[in-house]
Structure 1
Amino acid sequence: MAEGERQLREQHQAMIRDLGDRHTRIKQCGPDDAVFDEQYDQLVACAERLLEFERMLPARLAQPKRERADRVVKWSWRGQTAVAVALIAAVLALGHTAWWLVLLIPHLLGTLMGWSVTVTAERYREQRAIVIGLHVLCLLVVLVALGVISAWWIVAVLVGWVAVGAASVDVKSDLPRFVIARSWY
């Protein structure tokens, strides 16, 4: 267990113990005691802090993983941009036809657009999987452009780019329900 996770769990346990202690104190007081109202207010405030902490706990536990995924995703897109530039230079240096630029320049532009991908706490696992697909796709582009495999694989490259691009876009899931709901009127 990571140190940050351990601290969060210890803090959570301490808040639960504090709430239990306050509950025990309030049970020892009668409703007519002078300190009852103060103890009750403290109990409610402690419960509210615990509820807020528990609401934020999943995001706080996922934060280190999200930050790692953010670095991986950003550097993957940047690395693939460097590969695209090197591939354009290699194709031109090897004397391949300039028609390869029709594939390689959009590939370069696509990797440049990937620099703006934002890794969120909700999608960090998905974004990490997308960059794995990006690496496979870029390997395919390299193999096709250098003539290692048949040029017919360009179709797979195009399909791969559509898939990576579509998966990288953050689409609101409420849109289809809204469209369906509006069609009933």
Structure 2
Amino acid sequence: MSSTGRELAQEHQLLRDAFRERHARVVRLDQDDASFDAEYGQMVEQAERLLEFEKGVPARLAEPQRERSERFVKWSWRAETAVAALLIAAVFVVGNTAWWLVLLVPHLLATLMGWTVEVTAARHVHQRRVAVGLHVLCVLVALVSLGVVSAWFLITVPVGWIVVGVASEDTPVKGQTR
């Protein structure tokens, strides 16, 4: 069990013990007793804390992996932006036709928009896979624009953009509320 799992188990046990103690107090009291209502109210509050904790356990267990995914996704988009900028510079340095900018500028802008992606606990694995797909697309863009592979592969670049775009659909953006 991970340290996070152990900490959660200990915290859960403490909450359960506190609830049991409250319940034992309430059971010992007569319903007509003056302190019954106060003890019962505290037991209900303790039960609500326990239930709220239990609802959050899956997200808290997934948090370390979500953080790793967040770093991977964040640096993937940044790296691909840098590669797109280098490819734009390479067009001018190598002396290729400026028509390649029709391919590279939208690619640069799309990778810049990826910087705003928020990695959530529920979708972090999916977002990591999208980032891997982005790497594949970027390699394809680089190979086509540098002339390593046939220009006929240019047709696959917009298809790749659509695939990454559709896969990124419904991905939360930082600062956006749903």
Provide the TM-score with structure 1 as the length reference. 0.82
Residue of structure 2 in register with 1:68 after alignment: 68
Residue of structure 2 in register with 1:116 after alignment: 116
Q: Distance in 1 between matches of 2:79 and 2:159?
A: 21
Q: CA 1:91–1:171 in structure 2 vs 1: closer, same or farther (change >3 Å)?
A: closer
Q: How many residues matched?
A: 172
Q: Distance in 1 between matches of 2:143 and 2:93?
A: 16
Gaps of 5+ in 1: 173-185
The yes-or-no answer on 1:139 pairing with 2:139 is yes
Contact 2:127 2:168 (8 Å CA) reproduced? yes
Distance apart, 1:50 and its partner CA? 0.7
The yes-or-no answer on 1:105 pairing with 2:105 is yes
Distance apart, 1:35 and its partner CA? 4.0
Q: Deviations over 1:86-145 (max 9, x none)?
A: 112223222222222221111111111111222223222211111010001001111111
Q: Look up the equivalent residue of 1:127 and give its one-letter code.
A: Q
The yes-or-no answer on 1:49 pairing with 2:16 is no
Residue of structure 1 in register with 2:8 after alignment: 8
CA RMSD, 1 decimal: 2.1
Q: Distance in 1 between matches of 2:73 and 2:129?
A: 9
Residue of structure 1 in register with 2:176 after alignment: none
Determine which structure has greater relative contact order: mean sequence separation of CA pairs < 8 Å that are 6+ residues apart, divided by chain length: 2
Q: Distance in 1 between matches of 2:171 and 2:114?
A: 16
Q: Look up the equivalent residue of 2:75 and give its one-letter code.
A: W
Matches within 5 A, 1:21-40: 21-40=21-40
Provide the TM-score with structure 2 as the length reference. 0.85
Matches within 5 A, 1:122-161: 122-161=122-161
Q: Distance in 2 between matches of 1:171 and 1:65?
A: 18
Identity over aligned pairs, percent:
58
Residue of structure 1 in register with 2:175 after alignment: none
Q: Distance in 2 between matches of 1:104 and 1:32?
A: 78
Q: Distance in 2 between matches of 1:103 and 1:41?
A: 65
Distance apart, 1:61 and its partner CA? 2.5
Distance apart, 1:158 and its partner CA? 0.8
Q: Distance in 2 between matches of 1:137 and 1:117?
A: 18
Residue of structure 2 in register with 1:84 after alignment: 84
